[in-house]
Every structure is written in structure tokens, then in C-alpha cells.
Amino acid sequence: MPRAPEALAAAVTDRGVPDRYAAPATPAHDRLADALADAIERIDAALETFYDRFPTPSSDDLAYGTTDNMDGWTTSFWTGLCWLAYEVTGAARFRDAAEAQLETFERRLHAGETATHDLGFLYTLSAVAGHRITGSERYRDVALSAADHLAERFLDAPGLVQAWGDLGDDDWTSGRMIIDTMLNLPLLFWASETTGDPSYAAIAETHARTAADHLVRADGSTYHTFQCDPETGDPLGGETAQGYADDSCWARGQAWAVYGYALAADYRSRAPYADLSATLGDYYLHEIPDDHVPRWDFDAPEPEIRDTSAAAIAACGFDELARRLPSADERVPAYRHAALATLESLTENYAAGPDADGLLTDAAYHRTEGDYDECCLWGDYFYVEGLVRATEHADWERYW
């Protein structure tokens, strides 16, 4: 049984917020609002091409290809961008596109890949967002079906949601969890909220605690993956799949953890999850360079290879964390500063030019397989979510 949240938070060394974030930020509201307007124009320009299809996960020479929705983990980030554009502008064409894509998410549950933890990514930004915005029971039914599939991936003995592979297969995926799952858990938390059935949230919280036990290191860094014996629950060890080394800290994974534990703090009303998010966030902030955009792995000997998608996720995570801490907590202005400084750097230094399909350059999907210095669909999504948060659209509520 994983430790209680209080014990988990206390077991990790907190480096504290770096001094450069101590002073309250001066929001560049107009500049960020202009960046949001530009991003929505870019989404609009892509709407015809990707009306009922989807961009590939990452670009090739800054151009996205097209893909269907039967496998992979990234298609919903395009749907999420359409929903964001609709909520900011009220323009029906964005809602029409998002709704046209729902059929593919329905079909995937019956005929596509479902043996993955990524159901949280896929159905939170499509069906849960659609239900929150429209109130349609069709969206709710699709999201609950996806939550049922995700809950089936929970392994009782180790107390985790297996990330990949068919359950019962004796291979590398067996009993393996990954840090990315922290952003898939909101689908389960939402399912409990909407049905009143506590079992979904119980699975999500148990996984969050197991992840803190095994994926979070004592110094506040994170493993990308960790394997447990699926029958006994015994811990077997941490490895990387996309980072530099098994004992390194993959920047995007750290960002997933910051945002994921801040969300868990809200869903479960548990302050220790916010404290753990802060500890993970402080590690992240100490490791990033002056322009607030991390190299792809904090321990990789390649400071010039960045990952803007990690920065965009982290910006949303720090904004969420600032909302979860008590308003009098002295860390709140620091985390707001970190979120705004990151978004301003992305806007000023990494916004893609007019010839690119994506919104941000210098994203690293999979550095060790040569996929970097491109646009990434999830980076585009979190960049726009961050801009919506920063420009304080009063009617917007997060989808996660």
C-alpha cells in the first residue's frame, strides 16, 4: 500500500523557489493577448485541413502530416485546440470542428487502440471538454466508456495503472507505470464527480500515491518509467523510455508531474499533493536556463536542444499550482511569476513563423530517436491553454 500523501510530500527534499522568481511578475497582458489572437488565427487557418482529421504528433520540417484516430496518443490535443478557440472567440466553426471529430473518438473505443493509459489524454480534451462546454449526454457517455477502459488497466497488487501493452503479457510493459499518467488521471477523477461512483477516483489517487512512492526521487526529480511486479507489487526499478538515461530527469516528465499533482490536489482537496507539486516544480525551476525553457533532459550534455512542449506544460502546471495553494502562501506569486515568464519567453523566442504549421518551434518529441527541433501538437495545445489562463478569460474552466 503506498504511503499517505503527507508522508510522500515529507519524503522529498524541496530545494525552494529560486530567488529570480521571488519578486511578483509584471504581467505582459497585451503581449500575451496578442499571442493568443495569433494562435487562434493559426488554428483557424488549419481548420479546413484538419476538420475531421488530425495533425501528426510532431511536424516534419515544421509541417504536420495528417492521421486518423485509431491509434496514438495525441489526436485530442487538436480537438482541445478547437474547443479553446471556440471558447475564446465564440465562433461556431471551431465548435463544429470539435464536434465533427467526436465520431472518431467513439469509433476508436470499439475498433481502435484502447490498451493504453493515454485514454486520459484522448478523452479528456475531446469528450470531457465537450460535455463541460455543451452539456451533451453523448459526450458524457463516450467519456465514461473511456474511463471504464482506463480503470480496467489498474493493477491491484502494485496499485498502479499500467501504461502500455496488454495486461497479462510478460514483457517490458508488464507492471510498468510512467510519469505521463499523472495527466491521464483527471479522466478518472471526473468520472467519479459525474457519476458519484468513488471507485474511479480511488484508482486515480492510489496510482498518484504509488507514482510518488516510486517515480519521484528523494531529490525531487523523477523517473520516466518504473516497473513493479504485477502479481506481488514488489518494486523492480526505474528506467527511461524517452529521457537521456535511466537515472536522469526528463524535462517533459517533470512537467507532467508538476501539473498532475496540482490537479490531484484540487480533485482530492489534499494540501500535501500541492506541496509535492511545489517540490517537483522547485526542482524544475532550479534546472531551467535563463530563458525559462528547459533542455530536453536536465542531465543531457546538450544544452542547445530544448523542449518547448515541456515548458508549455509546466506553465499550465505552475498556474494551476498557484491556484491550489492558500492565497496567503508566499510561494503563490513566485509560481505565477514562473508561469508568466515561461509564456512570455515562448511567445518572444519560440513562436513559429508563418511557414510553420505548429505554434511553437524547438519541441522535442523523442530526442533519442532524432525527433526534435520541431513542432509538437501537445506543445501547441498547452501553449494556448497557458495563454488562456494568463489572459484570464473569465468564463473558461479547465478541461482536466
- The residue with cell 488497466 is 153
What whole-number distance in Å separates Cα of residue 190 and Cα of residue 196? Answer: 10
Q: Please provide the DSSP assignment of 31-97 as one string.
A: HHHHHHHHHHHHHHHHTTTTSSSEE-SB-BTTB--EE-SSS-S-HHHHHHHHHHHHHHH--HHHHHH
Spot the catalytic one: 34, 96, 118, 307. 118
Q: Which positions ≥6 away from 388 have C-beta within 8 Å?
A: 36, 84, 87, 88, 396
Q: Please provide the DSSP assignment of 279-328 as one string.
A: HHHHHHHHHS-TTS--BSBTTSS-TT-B-HHHHHHHHHHHHHHHHHS-TT
In contact, 15 and 220? CB cutoff 8 Å? yes
C-alpha cell at 30: 497585451
C-alpha cell at 335: 509560481
The end-to-end CA distance of the chain, in Å, is: 27
* Kind of pairing between the strands at 176-178 and 225-228: antiparallel
Burial of 23 (0-12, 13-18, 19+ CB in 10 A): exposed
Whats the size of the chain, residue-wise? 400
Burial of 80 (0-12, 13-18, 19+ CB in 10 A): buried
Spot the catalytic one: 171, 180, 246, 329. 180
What whole-number distance in Å separates Cα of residue 29 and Cα of residue 343? Answer: 11
What whole-number distance in Å separates Cα of residue 260 and Cα of residue 316? Answer: 10
To the query of whether residue 118 is one of the catalytic residues in this protein, the response is yes
To the query of whether residue 180 is one of the catalytic residues in this protein, the response is yes
Supply the Cα-derived Rg of the chain in whole angstroms.
19
Q: Which residues are catalytic?
A: 118, 180
